[in-house]
Amino acid sequence: MSQKTARAIAKIIAILLVAALVVTTFAYVFGEESYAAEPTPTEVADQLALLAELMNLVQFYYKDQVSLQDLLDGAFSGTIDSLNDPFSVYFVSTEEGQEFLQSVSGTYSGVGLELTMDEKGQVSVVSVLPGSPALDAGMLAGDRILRVDGMDISGLTLTQVVLLIRGEAGTQVRVTVERSAQTLQFPLVRDEINQIAVESQMLSDGIGYIRIKSFDEDCVQEFTNAKLRLMAQGAAAFVIDVRDNPGGYVDSAVQIAGQFLPKVEVTHFSRKGEIVQTLSSDGYGVSGIPIVLLTNGSSASASEILAAAWKEHHAATLVGTQTYGKGIAQQLLEMQNGKYVKLSTFYFLTPRKNMIDGKGVAPDYVVENFSAAEQEALAALYASFVPMRESVKPAAGAEGLNVYGAQQRLQMLGYACEVSGLMDEATVAAVTQFQRDSGLYPYGVLDYTTRDRLELEAAAAASGKVSTEDRQLAKALELLH
């Protein structure tokens, strides 16, 4: 098959996607190539003739009406499904492919959930975005998705579940979840979701802290702005945090890695055992700035490109736990009929050509934020808390179960107050500080937004997503002092 013919069959639309935990971000690398070794035209024609015969038999003899397009879509989907790769997807409709493509921008219409799929095919909430419909409705990290609009999602790919939940702003979707052996249903109204990829703040003793939440298309500019702003404030060292970062654009990870590297190789792409492409830094990076990179088991894909590059080039010290080990890159292919195929096409490797997929990147200092016993104790403590379901907004002097439950959760998260059910001076101060720490208006009233955020953070602590004591950050600061 000629290169011209290959391009006519499937157009590579200039992107290379990293298969991340969460199908809300992906990774772009420019390039186009023709197909490799192929079956002979006669072999292909013979098999396609048999497939056409099968479809004719089904249409004629099957007990119910079935359209030719449904059979064709089934054949196309079956080709991809035969790979047993959850990250490779044939988008049955053009709209699905276009909607998936739109999500690379970091702005999309949905409910504000970041999802993951485990090896058993169970889809769970990784995080709930601030200010999103899902957060307002009370959804929590750790919720396991069971149904979307009444449809059982068993057997669907992660991409398919994401696309079911997303949709036009202003429309409604019902998400049914399992939480602590309870089945809960959330009617959600979709809205425009704008993800902020980078958060930053100045810590003590000239140390700047930058958290990269995802490697979306705005990430590099946001990171650069945060770095320059902190340096202008006197930052001479950095803690960079990619914990729970599911990945994103390869190019974003390479550019951010290059900001603290000389001209060096950052990552390689391998297919069928051979290196087919190498990406390098641009050579304009600043070397010698002390950096600690925080990682954990949910640092995946593009996060691992950054971690491996900085570790192997000695640009940063890694602290935390082993990264996820998702070293698969993908291409999004557009077919002649306008439909899309997302196909795993490469492994990405470390600068020293070590495999990341299935292995991850090991930290220089292994630091757990909590032990198994501590996590079990936190989960048991959280399970004993009273629910905060009263439709009230307790202020100073108020009493009730919402106050009691809030005090339990505030104590768990390290805020000083007594569990009494009375909104006393200490509780008002604790609520105010929690609001300030969470970026909410700090006025000491336990309003609905504060209540829901408090519930979200307590649930995250109980599930092991965060610790009330950030030992990993403490170790980073110790190394930089």
DSSP-derived secondary structure for 402-419: HHHHHHHHHHHTT-----
If one compares 126 and 293, the residue with the highest pLDDT of the two is 293
Q: Which helix (H) or strand (E) holds 89?
A: strand 89-90
Q: Cβ distance 437 to 416 under 8 Å?
A: no
In a domain, 139, yes or no: yes
Domain assignment of residue 477, yes or no: no
Q: Are 262 and 159 found together in one domain?
A: no
Q: For residue 322, give both structure tokens.
A: 């082993």
Most confident of 84-93, 110-119, 175-184, 345-354: 345-354
Reply yes or no on whether the pLDDT at 447 is more than 90.
Answer: yes
Co-location of 189 and 203 in the same domain: no
Of 134-138, 194-198, 263-267, 439-443, give the range with the top mean pLDDT. Answer: 263-267
* Tens digit of each residue's pLDDT (9 = 90 or more) over 303-354: 999 999 999 999 999 999 999 898 998 778 888 888 888 888 899 999 999 9
Position 80 pLDDT exceeds 60: yes
Examine residue 476 and state whether it is found in any structural domain, yes or no: no
CATH of the domain at 451: 1.10.101.10
User: In this predicted model, what pLDDT tens digit does every residue of 88-100 receive, in sequence order?
Assistant: 888 877 777 766 6
Share of the chain above pLDDT 90, in %: 49
Closest of 457, 390, 395 to residue 425, by C-alpha: 395
pLDDT one-digit tens code per residue, 212-247: 988 988 899 999 999 999 999 999 999 999 998 888
In a domain, 344, yes or no: no
Same domain as 38, residue 91: yes
- Residue 464 pLDDT level (bands cut at 50, 70, 90): low
Give mean pLDDT, residues 453-477: 81
Most confident residue range from 97-106, 108-117, 174-183, 347-356: 347-356
398 by DSSP, 3-state: which? coil
Give pLDDT, residue 103.
61
- CA distances 159 to 20, 87, 141, 163, Å, are 11, 8, 19, 6
Q: Is 246 in the same domain as 361?
A: yes
Instruction: Report the pLDDT value the prediction gives residue 24, as an integer from 0 to 100.
Output: 33
Of 70, 99, 128, which marks where a domain is finished? 99
DSSP code of 469? S
Q: Is residue 93 part of a domain?
A: yes
Domain-ending residue, one of 67, 99, 131: 99
Domain assignment of residue 382, yes or no = yes
Judge if 218 and 268 occupy the same domain.
yes
Per the domain annotation, does 468 fall within a domain?
A: no
In the structure, how many helices (H) and strands (E) does the chain have? 14, 20
Considering the domain architecture, whether residues 301 and 407 belong to the same structural domain is answered as no
Same domain, 260 and 378: no
- The CA distance from 322 to 299, in Å, is 8
Write down the mean pLDDT value for the chain: 85
pLDDT at 167: 86
Question: What CATH number does the domain containing 153 carry?
Answer: 2.30.42.10
In this structure, the answer to whether residues 301 and 270 fall within a common structural domain is yes
Encode 22-57: b = buried (16+ Cβ within 10 Å), e = exposed.
bbbbbbbbeeeeeeeeeeeeeeeeeeeeeeeeebee
CA separation for the pair 190, 436 (Å, rounded): 28
Give yes or no for residue 403 having a pLDDT over 90: yes
Are 185 and 130 within one domain?
A: yes
Indicate whether 180 and 81 sit together in one domain.
no
Q: What are the phi and psi torsion angles at 475 (to 5°)?
A: -65, -40
pLDDT at position 127: 73
Mean of the pLDDT values across residues 143-149? Answer: 94
Backbone angles phi, psi at 176, to 5 degrees: -105, 130
Residue finishing a domain among 366, 396, 413: 366
The answer to whether the beta carbons of residues 106 and 195 sit under 8 Å apart is yes
Core vs surface per residue 441-459: b (16+ CB within 10 A) or e: eeebbbbebbbbbbbbbbb
The pLDDT tens digits of the residues spanning 190-205 come to 998 877 889 999 998 8
Q: What's residue 20's pLDDT? A: 34
Question: Would the pLDDT of 179 be above 70?
Answer: yes
Identify whether residues 7 and 52 lie together within a single domain.
yes
Would you say residue 132 has pLDDT above 90? no
Q: What are phi and psi of 186, to 5 degrees?
A: -120, 110
What range defines the domain where residue 62 resides?
Answer: 3-99
1 or 49: which leads in pLDDT: 49
**pLDDT for residue 26:** 39
CATH code (residue 301): 3.90.226.10
Tell whether 360 and 239 lie within a shared domain.
yes
Catalogue the E-assigned strands of 336-472. 340-349, 365-366
Domains in the chain, number = 4
Residue 455 lies in a domain: yes
Average pLDDT (403-409) is 96
pLDDT confidence of residue 467: 58
Element (H, E) at 195: none
